Amino acid sequence: MRVTLAEDSTLLREGLARLLVEEGHVVVASVGSADELLAAVDLERPDVVVTDVRMPPTHTDDGLRAALEIRHRWPDTAVLVLSQYVEKRYASRLLADRPEGVGYLLKDRVAQVDDFLDALDRVCAGATALDPEVVRQVVSGSDRTDPLARLTPRERDVLHHMAQGHTNAAIAGRLHVSLSAVEKHANAIFDKLDLSNTTGYSRRVLAILRYLSA
């Protein structure tokens, strides 16, 4: 795949570039600010963008805002956002409009090379990839306002893996259950979260967004 990298840490940026090249991908641009990122995407039209949240010029959410603009201006470009900490509002903003082809990972996940590359592949293929820690914090809520409170422990396990972007078949393998059991749990999740009438892959992510917006 053709990748554009945006990260203000030169060391991390160069490390990611080397990793991607070694995996057979093409890094068409490697930049250190949000403004440079937008210019590079406009010029190169990559398959996927990997960007930090906090970048110059303000070092706040410039990378996230650039990612949102990329999704608006070039909807065929997948986006994988990296963040130092779990920021539910960032994940919510990124996924709110169109969840397909987007991902949100903690930077620590980059050190888990296989996990990072797997998330990148899924995002580029049009799926959604949420960091397991983000999902853990979302699914672990248990107070009365939690819209996931009606889910059984097994349904929460299935939702945990769905939100990371895994297919039903992959979830069945990870939980050591049958594919039909996963499909049954998934349908129960959608029923309990009032998503039964929502079609397409997006309802898998909407199940997580239902909590993020609570």
Give the per-residue pLDDT at 183. 92
**Assigned token pair, 5:** 């990298």
Q: What is the pTM of this model?
A: 0.71
DSSP strand E in 93-212: where? Answer: 102-106, 128-130
Structure tokens at 86: 């779990």
The topology (CATH level 3) of 136-212 is Arc Repressor Mutant, subunit A (1.10.10)
Distance CA 119, CA 117 (A): 5
Would you state the pLDDT for residue 150?
81
| Residues 6+ positions from 52 with CB-CB distance below 8 Å | 6, 7, 8, 9, 63, 81, 82, 83, 107
Architecture (CATH level 2) of domain 2-130: 3-Layer(aba) Sandwich (3.40)
pLDDT score for 46: 97
Selection from 147, 120, 134, 176 nearest residue 3 by Cα: 120
pLDDT under 50: residue ranges of the chain: 142-144, 201, 214
Residues facing residue 48 across a β-bridge? 3, 78
> What pLDDT was estimated at residue 198?
58
Amino acid (1-letter code) at residue 181: A
The pLDDT of residue 66 is 94
Among 3, 5, 4, 43, smallest CA distance to 25 is for 3
pLDDT at 193: 80
Structural domain boundaries in the chain: 2-130, 136-212
Bridge partner residues of 128 (DSSP): 102
pLDDT score of 143: 47
Which pLDDT value is given to residue 39? 97
